Amino acid sequence: MASAKPTDNKNTYSVCTICDIGCQLRAETEDGKLKRMIAHDNPALARNVCYKGTAAAHIHNHVDRLTRPLKRVGERGEDKWEEISYEQAMDEIAERLKKVVDQYGPESMAVSTSGWNTQTTHSMDRRFMNALGTPNYISGVSLCAGNTAAVNKMTYGWFPFADISNSQCIVLFGHNPRKHSWTPIFNMINAARANGAKVIVLDPRVSDQAEVADLHLSLRSGTDAAMCFGWLNVIINEKLYDKDFVAEYTVGFDELCERVNDYPLERVAEITGVDAELIAESARMYATAESACIPWTPITDMQISSTSAIRLQSILRALTGNIDIPGGDVFGGFDPNYIPESKLGNHEMLSAEQKAKQLGSDAHPAYTYRAQEMLSEHTERVYGYAYADIVMGCYMANPSATFRAMATEKPYPVKAFFVLGNNALLSYPNQHQILKGMMNQDLIVAHEIFMTPTAMLADYVLPGDVFSERNHIADNWNWKLGLTVSQKAVEPPAEASSTFQFWHDLAHRMGFADLFPWQTIEDMLDHRLSPSGKTFEQFSNENYMYIQPPEYRKYRQTGFATPSGKVELKSSVLGELGFDPLPYYREGPAVSEDYPYYVFTGVREDAFFQTGQRQVKVLRDRMPSPKLFMHPVDAERQGIIDHDWVKLQTETGEVTAKVLIQDSMKQGHIRVPHGWWYPEMRGEAKLAGAFISSDAVLCPDAPEYLDYEQGIPHFKGFPGRIVKLNEPPAGMSEQVLAG
């Protein structure tokens, strides 16, 4: 099917990928260019837009957009390039990849991607990798939702999505949606509140959500798992749980109760720093609400007790009978109208021998093939497909193990690194190791829309298209049901193209043409929509989105997709893998005289998504420089005043930023922002200042900082110290110094 050439001023609806929540917006075009991206004309959707979305034209038409393939001519990282044709780039990449694979084996290729901003990959990356024979796929979703999906599956077979709008009680573990951060979730919380929902916020800081919450528990960073035990203690001892559900649909309740007894309220109060009475009151509020949900939160994705904290949230949902009910945590499943990426990824093609080589799966298997394949037959029984790659996070290698293999060639060499729509250098822990790993590659390919520090380290940089320039149907990564149309409004500039095209064209050069028969994105969309009996054109002419009517308590017919068919309060999968099958709380590395503060990453900045957009003036003007938050008492003790420049140091590294003193901070805590580099320093500072203020420099990934089961790092509450600087760091622009 040919793609209809977009014409000006027709209403096109595109799914914004500036952040990962995916609002559908409306495009206005002029002379074949994107003029504006504006709010939806459907009143129900019109509020789902933030000022990053409305800045889309500034991003998509930015003068620094990459438009031609680039080949490195200087030393790696020197940022010197020649423009070459797309055909030449793809030919050379294929040739060099073949060489690496011949010399070191297929597992020597690793891929890092975000997956959501490039949209049209359609799991072609996994399909390619599985055909080639490499299991080494890593992604930022190992720190955000992907890993939670994998761990949730162990407890009850799927990853539920909170039905916030219809809920009577919403529990936010740190999670802080607001007007310009995950706007649709913010709107849902407000809608529920207007209907009388209670909101409980657990956050060391007085966050935006905490300010207006019914209850706010200011816990110490990194202690969420302990807090969940406090709640379970109250819920079990006061018999507030759903006895029928527990009796009929769970296994391991008695063992869980024993474990919960290890965490009496006084102990939990001591660990978390929250008053025992408030813990009890909040637990009662949650457990006695008519319906209650615990929306997924990235905060517990990034802690030393992450696997336990995620499991404990799942257990709370189950014990209170809030699973798969209106206003609770709802199980989606695969959309019957759309072939899932899990299927297109062709995971059955990769041999057991190659799967066993997945980096990190020996020590930390939770989200790797090793653990997740133990669920395959159960997933197939309940959901119809053996592989459920929810949020693309269920069959990943471990990023730290992958960068270590790239750097040290142990346990085997990784020598080709492909990075698509991901600023990998800044987006995982231990940035120094990532750099070392990238410097030791024979081939690096980046697919990007801007020249990022990561792309600067590549041999080839391919220019990506953006969401206003391609057709797509978003399916919420199988997390919740619903298909959202995203239409191409304008043509991509020069030689910019999609990641679909990239994998297709590489596959054809590597001898896998028969596995990649779709010529265009639209062919792929027609294929994916085939169960609906519609083509992409028909589908998008008829709908701008299609929401499958929800069904509740489906487990009554199907059971749960776990080995026991029940909710596993005690996890058979974790037990079989040699881990504690029951959740527990583990203390992170302690603060000391040398490193007296609990440092946490996050509090996303309204103006940017993650490491992006620092070069986009309308957004950068809103947040010109990186800021560390400190409590006034801590600042005073250190002799620091607002806007002082400081160094924040940990055992792993140090970063420089300005201080913002805030009453809302919790004493003894420091917030470090994520993703800072300085596009304006390109050509002057090494890798455009990628090591000056990036949190990844600070975040350790030594074993004592890693969650056991997943091997994800402790980003919430690692020890650090502050050193005041007498003058700003060299080379900062006027805007940074002033703002």
Site for ligand MGD in 402-421 (CB under 6 A): 420-421
Nearer to Mo ion (CB atom), residue 148 or residue 454: 148
19 touches ligand MGD (CB under 6 A): yes
Nearest to ligand SF4 by Cβ — which residue? 53
Tell me how far, at minimum, the Cβ of 144 lies from ligand MGD, in Å.
3
Question: Which are the contacts of 235, defined by CB distance < 8 A and separation ≥ 6?
Answer: 241, 283, 287, 316, 319, 320
Q: Say how many C-beta atoms besides its own lie within 10 A of residue 477's C-beta.
A: 23
Size of the site for ligand SF4 (CB under 6 A): 12
Measured torsion, CA atoms of residues 573, 579, 581, 583, in degrees rounded to the nearest 10:
-120
Which of 45, 49, 294, 661 lies at the binding interface for ligand SF4 (CB under 6 A)? 49
- In sequence order, what are the beta bridge partners of 498? none
Token pair, residue 263, equals 């965490």
Contact 484, 467 (CB under 8 A): no
What phi and psi values does residue 212 have, to the nearest 5 degrees? Answer: -115, 15
402 touches ligand SF4 (CB under 6 A): no
52 touches ligand SF4 (CB under 6 A): yes
Contact 676, 669 (CB under 8 A): no
* Angstrom distances, CA of residue 548 to CA of 6, 264, 485, 509: 29, 43, 14, 39
Token pair, residue 21, equals 């929540």
Give the residue among 438, 474, 579 at the shortest CA–CA distance from 138. Answer: 438
Question: Which are the contacts of 576, defined by CB distance < 8 A and separation ≥ 6?
Answer: 374
* Angstrom distances, CA of residue 152 to CA of 82, 261, 289, 301, 563: 47, 23, 23, 12, 14
- In sequence order, what are the beta bridge partners of 708? none
Helix or strand run (H / E) with residue 449: none
563 touches ligand SF4 (CB under 6 A): no
Which of 157, 204, 393, 626 lies at the binding interface for ligand MGD (CB under 6 A)? 204
203 annotated active-site:
no
What is the x/- site pattern for ligand MGD, positions 689-728, by CB under 6 A? ------xx--x---------------xxx-----------
Burial of 513 (0-12, 13-18, 19+ CB in 10 A): exposed
> Which 3 state secondary structure label does DSSP give 364?
coil
Tell me how far, at minimum, the Cβ of 16 lies from ligand SF4, in Å.
3
183 touches ligand SF4 (CB under 6 A): yes
Nearer to ligand MGD (CB atom), residue 646 or residue 699: 699
Contact 338, 485 (CB under 8 A): no
Which of 22, 437, 583, 612 lies at the binding interface for ligand MGD (CB under 6 A)? 612
* Residue 588 contact partner, candidates ligand SF4, ligand MGD, Mo ion, none, CB within 5 to 8 A by sort of partner: none
For the chain, first and last CA: distance in Å?
51
Which of 66, 138, 144, 690 lies at the binding interface for Mo ion (CB under 5 A)? 144
What is the x/- site pattern for ligand MGD, positions 24-63, by CB under 6 A? ----------------------------------------
Which of 121, 233, 313, 610 lies at the binding interface for ligand MGD (CB under 6 A)? 610
Contact 271, 226 (CB under 8 A): yes
Can you tell me the distance from the alpha carbon of 544 to that of 546, in angstroms, rounded to the nearest whole number?
Answer: 7
Q: Say how many C-beta atoms besides its own lie within 10 A of residue 541's C-beta.
A: 11
Site for ligand MGD in 166-185 (CB under 6 A): 173-177, 180-182
Which of 12, 13, 18, 600 lies at the binding interface for ligand SF4 (CB under 6 A)? 18
Helix or strand run (H / E) with residue 355: helix 352-355
- In sequence order, what are the beta bridge partners of 658? 627, 645
What is the x/- site pattern for ligand MGD, positions 630-669, by CB under 6 A? ----------------------------------------
Nearer to ligand SF4 (CB atom), residue 610 or residue 650: 610
What is the x/- site pattern for Mo ion, positions 286-325, by CB under 5 A? ------------x---------------------------
- In sequence order, what are the beta bridge partners of 200? 171, 215
101 touches ligand SF4 (CB under 6 A): no
Which of 6, 22, 421, 429 lies at the binding interface for ligand SF4 (CB under 6 A)? 22
674 touches ligand MGD (CB under 6 A): yes
Which of 8, 20, 102, 580 is labelled catalytic? Answer: 20
* Pairing assessment for the beta strands 109-113 and 416-420 based on DSSP bridges: parallel
* Residue 674 contact partner, candidates ligand SF4, ligand MGD, Mo ion, none, CB within 5 to 8 A by sort of partner: ligand MGD
Residues serving a catalytic function are 20
The residues binding Mo ion (CB under 5 A) are: 144, 298
The residues binding ligand SF4 (CB under 6 A) are: 16, 18-19, 21-23, 49-50, 52-53, 182-183
The residues binding ligand MGD (CB under 6 A) are: 17, 19-20, 114, 117-118, 140, 143-144, 173-177, 180-182, 202-205, 207, 219, 221-222, 224, 297-299, 420-423, 427-429, 447-450, 452, 464, 466, 600-606, 608-612, 674-675, 695-696, 699, 715-717
